[in-house]
Amino acid sequence: MADLLTLYREHAERAQADADAATLGNVRERNLRAADAWRQMAERIERTETARATREPHGDPALRAQRTTP
In angstroms, the Cα distances linking 48 to 27, 44, 51 are 32, 6, 5
CA dihedral 54, 48, 42, 40 (to 10 degrees): -120
Residue type, 23: T
The pLDDT of residue 56: 81
Angle between helical axes of 25-55 and 2-21 (0-180°, round to 10): 160
Q: Give per-residue pLDDT as tens, 9-50.
A: 999 999 999 999 999 999 999 999 999 999 999 999 999 988
Residues 6+ apart with CB under 8 A from 19: 27, 28, 29, 31, 32, 35
Q: What is the pLDDT of residue 55?
A: 86
